[in-house]
Amino acid sequence: MHDTSTIDRRALLGGIATAAALAASPARAGGTNALTAASASALAEAIRTRRVTAAEVVEVHLARIAAVNPQLNAVVQLTADSARREAAAADAALARGEAPKPLHGVPVTIKDTLETAGVVCTGGTLGRAAYVPKADATAVARLRAAGAIVLGKTNVPELAGALETDNLVYGRTNNPYDLARTAGGSSGGEAAIVAAGGSPLGLGTDAGGSIRVPAHYCGLAALKPTSGRIPRTGQFPRPMGARNSVFHVSLIARRVDDLALALPIVAGPDFRDYTIVDMPLRDPHAVGLRGLKLAFFDDDGASAPTPEIAAAVRAAARAFAEAGLTVEERRLPEAETAAAVYYDMTRGDGGAGTRAFLRSIGTERISPLFEQSLGTRAAPAMAGITEALAAFARWDAFRNAQLAFLQGYDAVLSPVAPYVAPAHGTSFDPALQRGVGYAQNHNLTGWPAVAVRVGTSPEGMPIGVQVAAHPWREDVALALGRHLEASLGGFAPPAI
């Protein structure tokens, strides 16, 4: 079902006599070789056809992490011993003639807000600095059951509460394209190590842009699925309460096809998360682009994009028009209010409950970044229940207005953010905060959204765009992202 690109097949399989020769092949941009530059889909096929062993794939990725992580600080728990054991077992299973699994022997990394049995899971907070879960999060368990091999855990901001990654447990994660800039948040560690070639596929989360913003900052492909598609069981903190539906377990990779490969593996009810719906998944490779109708906008009315990002959105719109889509420049209704609607629902008690929760798990000292988050997003506290109810009523009205708009279109194209990755420590600057609505918009609606790289800024930083589709139509979002990747270049490795 899942195709592997011609480029990946040539790079990984064509004319390669042995896996050892592949691993020792001349370094590409950023010091990667053919294995660490390959997609998860291509690695799965190479292992399945026994052109390379899982042990060799794991070893070369561990070596890549060792080479880049001192500069990035992306991988915060390395599970090298268990990864080697699991790779040996995967190779032995193939040698016995057992049928390969969809991700048989493919290395992956996991965001440090998703629990992993026997491996420390901190959520970026001091109170859990030594916390070892007894069970995997549902999505992690499903990746393992499909044959994936976990290499380690990746860094996050405290409680995943910022669009840059820094905490008092592990420190700051750097962007592989420019170490002086953030890799984003809250899935910043995932984005950094996947972009740098240390992992082909990552599992993250997205409650307000947390997978798509790091993908944009680090030049990757990412999928925030429909709300209700992937269980959040084992996510820390566990999504609960009235804002439950903005939280999404999500996927990040260098290629869109890898998102399509992994989505059916992690999706579907687990009978632990009551919000998950058993909706069929459709094949993105079966989506015909000609005749689809797309709306696009490059300015949400709240934060104007850089000229380069506006140009990238328009280039993406042209690529769709050339593929036979009907393309219209129309902004989502009330798009300029998305950030205000989102933050009005987070104020509540002004952060008192969050502080009490942190104390309850043993966190007596909060990171400066999370203090900024509480001060920016949780203040001022709401005056009372009437104001709180009004905030959630505005959310309902926002969702209804946007859904009515979507009735006339198959998808909506826009920036992920109106700027490229900023310098460390600046994500809460007022000018940057005004730009968060582009990503938060689709957490409010719950629509599936794919981010993909389509260009490069004058500073050499990646530029991504996002395409959102109807609820439960991840196939359309993935197919459109795949077309942009093919038309406009997609991932380009950093020089690290």
Q: What is the pLDDT of residue 442?
A: 98
Contact predicate 107/57, CB 8 Å: yes
Sequence-ordered list of residues with C-beta below 8 angstroms from that of 271, at least 6 positions apart, any chain:
none
Instruction: Give dist(CA 190, CA 262) in Å, integer.
Output: 16
Q: How many CA atoms lie within 13 A of 73 on its CB side?
A: 16
Q: Where are the alpha helices (DSSP H) in 79-137?
A: 80-95
260-298 residue pLDDT tens: 999 999 999 999 999 999 999 999 999 999 999 999 999
Mean pLDDT for the stretch of residues 38-65: 98
**CA 382 distance to own-chain centroid:** 31
Three-state DSSP class for 39? coil
Residues facing residue 252 across a β-bridge = 202, 222
Q: Is the pTM of this model over 0.75?
A: yes
- CA gap 143, 155 in Å, rounded: 19
Beta bridge partners of 109: 152, 202
Q: Extract the tokens encoding 53.
A: 């062993």
Provide the phi-psi class of 13: left if phi over 0, else alpha when psi is between -120 and 50, else beta: alpha
Task: Write b or e for each residue in 297-335: b if 16 or more Cβ atoms lie within 10 A of its Cβ, otherwise e.
Answer: bbbbebbebbebbbebbebbbebbeebebebeeebbebb
- List residues with catalytic annotation: 111, 186, 210
- Residue 74 burial class via C-beta count within 10 angstroms: exposed 0-12, middle 13-18, buried 19 and up: buried
Helix (H, G, I), strand (E, B) or coil at 19: helix
Mean pLDDT of the chain: 94
How many residues does the structure list for the chain? 496
Helix 188-195 × helix 54-72 angle, to 10°? 120
Range picked from 19-23, 27-31, 374-378, 464-468 for highest mean pLDDT: 464-468
**Confidence at residue 30, expressed as pLDDT on a 0 to 100 scale:** 60
Share of the chain above pLDDT 90, in %: 90
pLDDT at 348: 85
The answer to whether residue 36 scores a pLDDT higher than 50 is yes
Compute the average pLDDT of residues 335-349. Answer: 94
Summarised one tens digit per residue, pLDDT across range 92-137 is 999 999 999 999 999 999 999 999 999 999 999 999 999 999 999 9
Q: Looking only at Cα atoms, what is the longest distance across the chain?
A: 70
pLDDT at residue number 201: 99
Q: Structure tokens of 132?
A: 């070892």
> How many C-beta neighbours within 10 Å does residue 417 have?
28
Examine the pLDDT at 430 and tell me if it is beyond 80: yes
Residue 4 has pLDDT above 70, yes or no: no
Question: Measured in whole angstroms, how far is the alpha carbon of residue 338 from the centre of its chain?
Answer: 20
Q: What would the mean pLDDT of 316-331 be, rounded to a whole number? A: 98
CA separation (Å) from 364 to 52, 133, 170, 367, 374?
49, 21, 16, 10, 15
DSSP string, 58-93: HHHHHHHHHHHHHHH--EEEE-HHHHHHHHHHHHHH
Of the pLDDT bands very low, low, confident and very high (cuts 50, 70, 90), residue 21 is very low
Calpha distance 326→292 (Å, rounded): 6
DSSP 114: B
> Comparing C-alpha atoms, which of 256, 288, 317 is closest to residue 482?
256
Neighbours of 372 (CB within 10 A): 17
- Region label for 123, one of left (φ > 0), alpha (ψ between -120 and 50) or beta (otherwise): left
d(CA 28, CA 254): 15
The confidence score (pLDDT) of residue 20 equals 40
**What's the pLDDT at 377?**
86
Give DSSP secondary structure letters for 329-375: E-PPTTGGGHHHHHHHHHHTTTTHHHHHHHHHTT--S--HHHHHHHH
**Alpha-carbon gap, residue 450 to 448, rounded angstroms:** 7
